Amino acid sequence: MDNQEEYKKMLEQNRRSHLDFAKALSDNSETMRSQVSRTTSVTQQQLSRFLGNPLTNYLDISKLMNALYTGNGIIKQHIKYYSSLLTLNHTIVPVMNERSGWDISKVTLEDYVMAANFVKRLNIKRHAPHFIKQTLMNGYSLFYKMQDKKGVAYLEFPIRFGKIYSLENGVYRWAIDVDSVKDSTPGVLPVEIENAIANGDRKDDNWIDGKYFKLKDKGVAFCFDQEVLSNGGIAVSEFSNLIGSAIKLENARNKLEIKDDLDGVKLVHSQIPVDKNGRPQMESKVAAKYDKSMRSSLPKGIVPITNPMKVTNIALNGAGDTKAYESVGRSTASLFFDMGVPSPMFGGETTSSNIVKISNVKDITWVYNVILPLIEDYYNYEMSKYKSPNNFAWNIKIMRQSQFTFSDDQKVAKEQLNLGGSRLDFLAMSGMEPIEVVGTLGLEQQVLDIDSLMKPKQTSHTMSKGGSTESSTPGRPQSDNPTDDTDRLNDAN
């Protein structure tokens, strides 16, 4: 009986000793835990709630899309792909109206040059890709135009500061949440917004619910969802359906990183001596100091263990390799499927290049039908403010040309020249801006007389039979080997 009591007492003492060691030597700093991105902190329940009612949670969805753009290479390249598809090559055309007497012949070189200079200041190729990128990420984007004699700049506002309230001449207009911008935005704001903040009377037609101030024509918004006005002036990203698959991919990659950490970890065991009854022969505080000293001196990847128990070596190297990599592969494939693009578009393996070409045509068609008209309408609104000296209005024509089909589109424009097509369209598709057409061609022909400087070399293709580069016989070239067709044509003459 006495032996049993002593045995129980010994077990209790050992248990308490081991608990003391466990508390003293626990990894409170979580050095073995992998760092995770912001998107992985979102639970499946939260994500289901966000996507189940997207308009109510449009700000949360926007935050997730921005986090994914920063941390997920596939999402980032996908958005950059769409925002850079258009070449944004453009030309300008005069609009006949009553003021000009409906007579196109009244357009002068001065009219064209001044209109081209106005377009140059808009800097379309610099600003338009940013409009597209921000709208794809956030669902809609809010900008305020600032202009001087040298050019145009845009002040961008986060979507939490405003909402769209109207569509005028193909351009979305937005209203700003004055109280939010006053409390959150440091520095100097545009005069129109500063005046709205200082205005105590919020009851006229320029206000919505006494909270949102309607910005005039300098405030411009972009949105690819045509139902934005019926949805209260807000929208979510066209790619919000990718969030779920992207987060699953992030989680799979994080698990793979944890597995890699385990594969590389080495353990150093410092066993505390015990007596014949299993009781440690060293106080836990002293053992903790030994452990701390060892941790500070060991290189990275080697973890010390200090306890009174024996440690069995269990090799984790290679454990779960197949399942871990398969999980990442399946998550990546799911993400591309949700995107609606083949993985070879961004460097994946493929057995057919036609898959990429067909997908590219599909994407270009969507950009031509949805994005390009919105951008073109905005810049034509800006052009409507300009009138040339002879009262002609001008339109900007953005060419239906993509970066992927650049050469093919240019060939079509060149072939159309034989059927009376526009040379200005062809020059625009070659990358020349309207002002460059006059400057470059005028310099070459009128100043440099470049045709006299760049005469074609005499070759078998440029020389005639007599050695001259010009044929002495008018009409059809003569052949040294006439045929029945040649004789018939000559007889007809």
The whole-angstrom separation of Cα 175 and Cα 335 is: 35
The whole-angstrom separation of Cα 463 and Cα 352 is: 47
Residue 444 pLDDT > 60: yes
The whole-angstrom separation of Cα 202 and Cα 186 is: 23
Confidence of residue 136 (pLDDT cuts 50, 70, 90): very high
- Give the global pTM: 0.70
Write down the domain spans for the chain.
2-26+257-339, 38-244
DSSP string over 111-125: HHHHHHHHHHHH-HH
User: Closest Cα partner for 171 from 126, 133, 120, 223?
Assistant: 223
- Pair 222, 140: CB distance under 8 Å: yes
Q: Residue for token digits 């070409």? A: 357
Over residues 408-435, the pLDDT tens digits come to 999 999 999 988 899 999 999 999 999 9
DSSP β-ladder status, 302-307 and 266-271: parallel
Look at residue 287 in the predicted model and tell me its pLDDT. Answer: 76
Task: Tell me how crowded residue 346 is: count the other CB atoms within 10 A of its CB.
Answer: 15
Choice among 34-38, 160-164, 229-233 with the minimum mean pLDDT: 34-38
Confidence of residue 477 (pLDDT cuts 50, 70, 90): low
Over residues 175-215, the pLDDT tens digits come to 999 988 887 765 678 899 988 988 878 888 899 998 999 99
339 vs 84, residue with greater confidence: 84
